[in-house]
Structure 1
Amino acid sequence: MKKSTVTEIRERFDNEVERFSNLETGQVATMDAKIALELITCTARAVKPEAKTILDLGCGAGNYTLKMLSKVPDLDCTLIDLSQNMLDKAQERVSVATSGKVETIQGDIRDIELPKNHFDIILAGAVLHHLRDDSDWEMVFQKLYDSLTPGGCFLISDLLIQDHPGVNQLVWKMYANYLNEHGGGEYQQKVFDYIEKEDTPRSMTYQLDLMKRVGFSSVEILHKNACFGAFGGIK
């Protein structure tokens, strides 16, 4: 199947702002969304308690930044998303939660130039699975590493595959059962069709290995449940 273009992904998210604005429930289709959000932001605080700057990549309506600000207040926030509608909502919500600067950048992270040694915390919630080729992954991870301050952290919550075909089949069967329980067979098929068209996830081990390759001094696994996980690297 031909994958969604950047334009198609942007247009879809332009119409999903309200659904992605619920800080309490997270996304029903994402297993353990609330747990991952809490773990990632707690970890960022533990790694960089004196943080001043955050980059929220694929910020959506701003949930990750809002949760981070509840733990480390008054950060200068940089929000990146394909969707201007999402950015408008995120800016509106984040601006009232911090006395720091709030900058929004609309675009694809592959095309955006980031400042070097600037961000104390980088969060990427359910966004990197849109990257396609290995070269995209490597370029983006290197760019994010370069933009972190020494001791800064890059933390990810995302959809994953497994490297072993049998294990991959198992975890996706677990996810299918989860979707069936929450919305029935039709809902499960709708989510799977959407993933097939739009997403190209990589495994957690692939991403942790890539982090080490681009220079991260340590990597951490925070949570894993079927084909979802939370993990990251420290510069």
Structure 2
Amino acid sequence: MEQKSTLKEIEARFDQDVARFSNLETGQQTTLDASFNMELITDGIVATTPDLKKLLDIGCGAGNYPVKLLAKTSINPDVTLVDLSQPMLEKAKERVQPLTTGRVTTIKEDFRTAELEEAAYDVIIATATLHHLREDADWEAAFAKFYQLLKPGGSIWIFDLVTEDHPAIQHLLFTQHYGNFLTGLKDAAYRDHVFAYIEKEDSPRSVLYQTHLLQQSGFKTVSLLHKHLCFASFVAFK
């Protein structure tokens, strides 16, 4: 793990990529079913939390998920946006604030150390963020914090890169099939570029690892929403 990117290195990369991540259609072009999962998660939040008052988006980027969510509802929740990148936070607030009369708060910090009110949030969104966690202790502390931050009955919605526990299945789904997808986007050099920064920057875990950890952390129900090769979305309710 010592060879992985530091938080500062991750922050610097995202500081330079605000424009791309502000685009609802192309912001996650290397992510399988990104638009579908955004629709699925935001529809799910509307369906399960009609009286949403406080929303927390960790690793919010340019705010795509709150933008999509608030366009689907007439409610006006308070929104807290947490990210390592100040330019991302500024763009997210610029886009989110006009869509709610609630308070929009930005916090530039690692969500694990950010001072956030416990038992305060109806919904937490964590998309394309958790793969930056490293050791088991990081994952355990993060999921425990999610549980502490949510109100009773609150939910966390996750969409991210995932891995497989069986090496041959990992090779099939990630190296072969996802590799073919990336090559189709541009070419083999682009595939190798994406694979290189995933190897340098990311340390994803399997769906089973994460759903089991959510249950261990106290969540009452956990549901897999969608999985396509090495990307998956799931939700847990406190």
TM-score, normalised with respect to structure 2: 0.96
**1:230 alignment partner, one of 200, 220, 233:** 233
- Segments of 4+ moved more than 4 angstroms: none
In structure 2, what is the equivalent of residue 63 of structure 1?
64
* AA matched with 1:15: Q
Please list the CA deviations of residues 176-196 of structure 1 after superposition, one character each: whole Å capped at 9, or x if unmatched. 010011111011000000100
**2:223 alignment partner, one of 217, 220, 228:** 220
Secondary structure of 1:155's match?
strand
Contact 2:20 2:26 in 1 (8 A): no
In structure 2, what is the equivalent of residue 198 of structure 1?
201
User: Equivalents in 1 of 2:194, 2:118: separation in Å?
Assistant: 37
User: Equivalents in 2 of 1:25, 1:43: separation in Å?
Assistant: 22
Structure 1 residue 113: deviation in Å?
2.6
Secondary structure of 1:196's match?
helix
User: Does 2:141 correspond to 1:139?
Assistant: yes
> Superposition pairs for residues 45-56 of structure 1, below 5 Å?
45-56=46-57
Please list the CA deviations of residues 84-120 of structure 1 after superposition, one character each: whole Å capped at 9, or x if unmatched. 0100000111011111100000011121132111111
Q: How many residues were matched structurally? A: 235
- Root mean square deviation of aligned Cα: 1.0
> Superposition pairs for residues 85-164 of structure 1, below 5 Å?
85-164=87-166
Contact 1:118 1:148 in 2 (8 A): yes
User: Equivalents in 2 of 1:45, 1:233: separation in Å?
Assistant: 15
Secondary structure of 1:109's match?
coil
Contact 1:180 1:188 in 2 (8 A): yes
User: Does 2:172 correspond to 1:170?
Assistant: yes
TM-score, normalised with respect to structure 1: 0.97
- Structure 2's unaligned 5+ residue stretches are none
Identity in percent = 50
Structure 1 residue 222: deviation in Å?
0.6
